[in-house]
């Protein structure tokens, strides 16, 4: 049977790609299909999720080794008999045990419950907050260590005993053809010990649900999709296992004046035809409280972009700032007084065509075309 290369094909790399090549390919593809760049595009969103799944697998040496040998079936319990069944694996650890010699990756014995789950929290902040950074607090419902039993899952004053089914190893080993397959013990669920008197508060889980208030420090320069990791603030692990992590995903609210791309700030400014013709200056309020004075050269055209260096967003975890980019929109007046119309007619009578070289050039080409 041909090797499964779906994950590599998704990322557009060869099956022997280096870690750096995997990372570069993922970043490029993820940026292309990111939901923020493709709003309302269900196909792009599905592709973005598939790319994340592929990269999460291939960036981990253990998971990549399992995928290279067994394909996606390594993670779906599809090795002949389904999860826990004949020829099947109960979890990814069983596959690693088979590949790397029955003791987990590197020969270390896997025992005990898995760590708690990682959690995601989506936070919307203003562009001003992204510029300055901020400290805030969030309330989140999460599983925490049970205070009554201290995370053991056993009623206070009682103890646990060794699991008789697996003899305390947390694993059940079986011979399947050429393979020796280890499955998590169904009696103790990998702990190697059994609770005889479960804690009445948590029911033997060693954790309870609780609302926690957490402090979040947002650094200056964060952008849409920036991920802030709070180590150990995810779900508490069962029976005293280590907790997962909490990931804060940042979303920047739409701003009334500016649009952002990386560290650059963009704004579109309408100016009068007199300012466009004669030149002048405009003042743009900055997110830092200072004004940027933008000088308008005489004869500027609509669509021209003027740059003010160092007036954009700060570099995340770095030094310096991006640029402020001002796009000029020359506005044709729509409400003129009689005197203004009179002045414009006088100007029109004195026009030679040299004042507007683009218009003059166009109509000369029209004349040439008509012969």
Q: Which of 167, 181, 4, 158 is nearest to 82 (CA)?
A: 181
Cβ–Cβ < 8 Å for 214, 137:
yes
Q: 57 labelled as ligand-binding? A: no
Most distant pair of Cα atoms in the chain: their distance: 106
Q: 163 labelled as ligand-binding? A: yes
Q: 149 labelled as ligand-binding? A: yes
User: How many CB atoms lie under 10 A from the CB of residue 107?
Assistant: 9
Q: Could you give the CA distance from residue 225 to residue 249 in angstroms, rounded to a whole number?
A: 6
Residue-wise DSSP of 137-198: EEEEEEEEE-TTTTTS-BPTT--EEE-TTTTTSSEEEEEETTEEEEEE-TTTTTSSEEESSB
3-state SS of 319-364 is CCECCEEEEEEEECCCCCCHHHHHHHHHHHHHCCCCCCHHHHHHHH
The separation between CA 353 and the C-alpha centre of its own chain, rounded to angstroms, equals 55
Cβ–Cβ < 8 Å for 338, 245:
no
| Burial letters 92-103, b for 16+ CB under 10 A, else e | bbbbbbbbbebe
Extract the annotated binding site.
146, 149, 163, 166, 185, 188, 199, 202
Binding residues for Zn(2+): 146, 149, 163, 166, 185, 188, 199, 202
């Amino acid at each position: 049977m041909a090797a499964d290369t779906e994950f590599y094909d998704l990322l557009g790399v060869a099956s022997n790609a280096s870690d750096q090549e995997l990372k570069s390919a993922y970043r490029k593809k993820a940026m292309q299909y990111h939901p923020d760049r493709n709003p309302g595009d269900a196909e792009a969103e599905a592709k973005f999720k598939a790319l994340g799944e592929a990269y999460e697998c291939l960036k981990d040496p253990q998971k990549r080794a399992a995928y290279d040998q067994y394909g996606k079936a390594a993670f779906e319990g599809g090795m002949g008999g389904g999860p826990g069944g004949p020829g099947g694996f109960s979890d990814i650890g069983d596959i690693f045990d088979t590949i790397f010699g029955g003791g987990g990756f590197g020969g270390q014995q896997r025992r005990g419950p898995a760590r708690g789950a990682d959690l995601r929290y989506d936070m919307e902040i203003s562009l001003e907050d992204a510029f300055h950074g901020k400290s805030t607090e969030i309330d989140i419902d999460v599983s925490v260590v049970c205070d009554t039993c201290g995370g053991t899952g056993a009623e206070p004053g009682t103890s646990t005993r060794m699991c008789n089914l697996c003899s305390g190893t947390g694993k059940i080993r079986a011979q399947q053809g050429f393979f020796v397959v280890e499955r998590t013990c169904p009696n103790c669920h990998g702990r190697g010990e059994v609770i005889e008197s479960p804690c009445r508060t948590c029911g033997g889980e060693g954790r309870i649900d609780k609302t926690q208030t957490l402090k979040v420090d947002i650094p200056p320069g964060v952008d849409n999709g920036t991920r802030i990791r709070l180590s150990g603030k995810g779900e508490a692990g069962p029976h005293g296992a280590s907790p997962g992590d909490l990931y804060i995903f940042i979303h920047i609210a739409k701003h009334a004046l500016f649009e952002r791309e990386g560290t650059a700030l963009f704004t579109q400014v309408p100016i009068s035809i007199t300012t466009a013709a004669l030149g002048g200056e405009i003042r743009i309020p900055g997110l830092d409280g200072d004004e940027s004075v933008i000088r308008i050269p005489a004869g500027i055209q609509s669509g021209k972009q003027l740059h003010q260096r160092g007036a954009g967003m700060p570099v995340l975890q770095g030094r310096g700032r991006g640029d402020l980019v001002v796009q000029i929109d020359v506005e044709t007046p729509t409400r003129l007084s009689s005197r203004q119309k009179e002045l414009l007619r006088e100007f029109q009578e004195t026009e030679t065509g040299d004042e507007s070289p683009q218009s003059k050039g166009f109509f000369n080409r029209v004349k040439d075309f008509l012969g």
